[in-house]
Amino acid sequence: MLEGVGGTGLTVAGIRAEETARPDRLFADPLAAAFVAAAGSPPPQATSRQAAALRLWIVARTVFLDELITAACADGVRQVVLLGAGFDTRAFRLSWPPGVRCFELDTGDVLAAKQQVLTEQGAVAGCERIVVPADLGGDWPPALRAAGLDPVWPAIWVAEGLLVYLSPGQVDRLLDEVTSLSAPASRLGLTFRNREPGDQSAPAPALRRSVAPDDPAGWLAGHGWAAELASAREVLRAHGRPVPAARPAGRGASRPRALLISAALDPALARSRPAARRPPARAAAHSQPAVAVRPRPAGRPARGRRRRG
């Protein structure tokens, strides 16, 4: 079994396999069970309360980001970037329009283990899938651009279960780089958890290095993005999934413990950033479709009520 962040990906795959087996499933991930089986042993289980909270979180964020990606592609976006892709199988399980290129970034060991399972299963991606080994805590943009990302065209960026494993400085730098590589009409989907020291309700708590900022919308505005926030409960209730009652509010309860964030690049905010952060303009790649991308409100894909930050 992979250690560290790769190991947490197996826990997520296990939960997605459980959801796929439900008759009332909110998504289907046929490859998830194969990743768990290939590990040789089941992922570690939390206590019953912790396990229930984690399942709620993983299912909600999967649905939320599936809808965000699907909506962006329906509006003409043809570049999808999965930051910290892990055992994500969206390239194989979502319905893709023609011309989509899906870039999967993660460490080489995680991507190699993933590819072994995909090969054994005979999995065939429904879009052009491009694997990019990269350290997302370091200088990853050159590798992504070399792999074919064109900043002239809009992209939908997804960081699912990633940011908590980066230091606050690395998170800010990653968002700066994403902004620098984003054209108008680009989208962004993030998940972020607020956890106090010693909280064991998420995988690999010792690896977590940062929490969501106090003002997530303001934080993203500082990076050039207009954001909207949702909670896991809102998303699941919007899809008819019963959720248990929330625990009684305690100290610090005004801050949501888990955030689902959708954002759209705001040209006014992006222009206010230093020009040096923007990449030089390039001729459009011939493989990109000449489509008119219609901006969609950042929070539209998930159908739950939104809280503005």
- Give mean pLDDT, residues 145-153: 98
Nearest to residue 61, comparing CAs of 26, 86, 107, 96?
26
Helix residue spans in the chain (DSSP H): 5-21, 32-38, 48-74, 90-93, 108-121, 141-147, 168-180, 216-221, 232-238, 267-271
- Predicted TM-score of the model (pTM): 0.83
Indicate whether 306 belongs to any domain. Answer: no
Indicate whether 294 belongs to any domain. Answer: no
Residue corresponding to tokens 């939320």 = 64
Which has more pLDDT, 159 or 270? Answer: 159
User: For the chain, what is the mean pLDDT?
Assistant: 82
204 has pLDDT over 70: no
Domain count for the chain: 1
pLDDT of residue 272: 64
pLDDT band at 213 (very low <50, low <70, confident <90, very high): confident
Indicate whether 64 belongs to any domain. Answer: yes
- Give mean pLDDT, residues 46-74: 91
pLDDT band at 298 (very low <50, low <70, confident <90, very high): very low
pLDDT of residue 280: 37
Domain residue limits at 231: 47-244+252-277
Taking only the tens place, the pLDDT of each residue in 5-40 is 457 888 899 999 999 999 999 999 999 999 999 887
Taking only the tens place, the pLDDT of each residue in 74-107 is 999 999 999 999 999 999 999 999 999 999 999 9
Indicate whether 302 belongs to any domain. Answer: no
190 has pLDDT over 80: yes
What's the CA gap between 1 and 9, in Å, rounded? 11
Indicate whether 33 belongs to any domain. Answer: no
Indicate whether 34 belongs to any domain. Answer: no
CATH number of the CATH domain containing 198: 3.40.50.150
| 3 state DSSP class of 193 | strand
Which of 148-157, 236-245, 287-296 comes out lowest in average pLDDT? 287-296
| 3 state DSSP class of 104 | strand
Indicate whether 119 belongs to any domain. Answer: yes
pLDDT of residue 226: 97
- Give the Å distances, CA to CA, from 231 to 7, 131, 234, 258: 25, 30, 5, 7
Which of 35-49, 166-180, 208-222 comes out lowest in average pLDDT? 35-49
pLDDT band at 241 (very low <50, low <70, confident <90, very high): very high
Indicate whether 304 belongs to any domain. Answer: no
pLDDT of residue 302: 41
Which of 82-86, 140-144, 203-207, 232-236 comes out lowest in average pLDDT? 203-207
DSSP-derived secondary structure for 29-76: -TTHHHHHHHTSSPPPP--HHHHHHHHHHHHHHHHHHHHHHHHHHHTT
Q: Count the neighbouring beta carbons within 10 Å of the beta carbon of residue 168.
A: 12
What's the CA gap between 285 and 46, in Å, rounded? 47
